[in-house]
Structure 1
Amino acid sequence: MEKQGKLKILVVDDEPNILMPLEFLMRKQGYNVLIARNGNEAIESVDKELPQVVVLDVMMPDVDGYEVCRHLRRKQEMADTKVIFISAKAQDADIKAGYAAGADLYIPKPFSTRFLMEKIKALAVGEKVVTNN
């Protein structure tokens, strides 16, 4: 994984009140931030940009986050990409489905942006991360 200043992160969410603050915060931290507002945009961005980290909502128009994650995991060049789900779908079955799709971490909404940023930093340096939310 690249150094923090060069880390390319794709943030995917159809809710501007989540997408915009995350984009601002991540840019402030020095990350190269890409955004997508739905699953189709996310797939297009993944295919073109090859981000190192994807922060991904589950419930989106057209293509859901689970399918975006499965698409990403089918690409050999994305094998080291870290996927963090952020979702209002917080039942055990939803979380299991996220991990089954290939997530490295699943964080239920609402979440602390500080917590999310800590987890991104940990994943970026190759630490194993766990969450107890």
Structure 2
Amino acid sequence: MNDHQNKARGSAPAGARPAAAADLDPETDPNRWEALVARILAEARPLLDARRLQPTLAGTLAGWRRPVIAAASGLAAAAVATLMLLPSAGGAEEVAMAEVMVPWSVAAWIEGSYAPTVEELVVAVEEYAP
């Protein structure tokens, strides 16, 4: 049987001594155990370094913090400037729905801010007649 067949069957190659549970106990030979740990860490170092250099979600979000704050402050400044340049509340008069549908004298009478005379009502009704 060759080495490939031995590996396929799960048996150790000829000449290799089988691992005993005592060989894996760190308390039997602490120096050997520390050497084994050091060798494993040395072999894993390139992989661990590569993983450490990969960008993470938190790192990506932290990188976007300054540009987002700058954009938000610029947007806020533009909004404040726009609000400052808009006309004040007293600039344009608000048009009520009644003023659009009926003459101003009737609309003012409906809103209660003006009581038209009889002549004004007659003229308004004549103007409004379809």
Q: TM-score range by the shorter chain?
A: under 0.3
Q: Which has the higher contact order (CA 8 A, sep 6+)?
A: 1
- TM-score after normalising by structure 1: 0.16
Q: Which has the larger radius of gyration?
A: 2
Specify which structure has the higher proportion of helix. Answer: 2
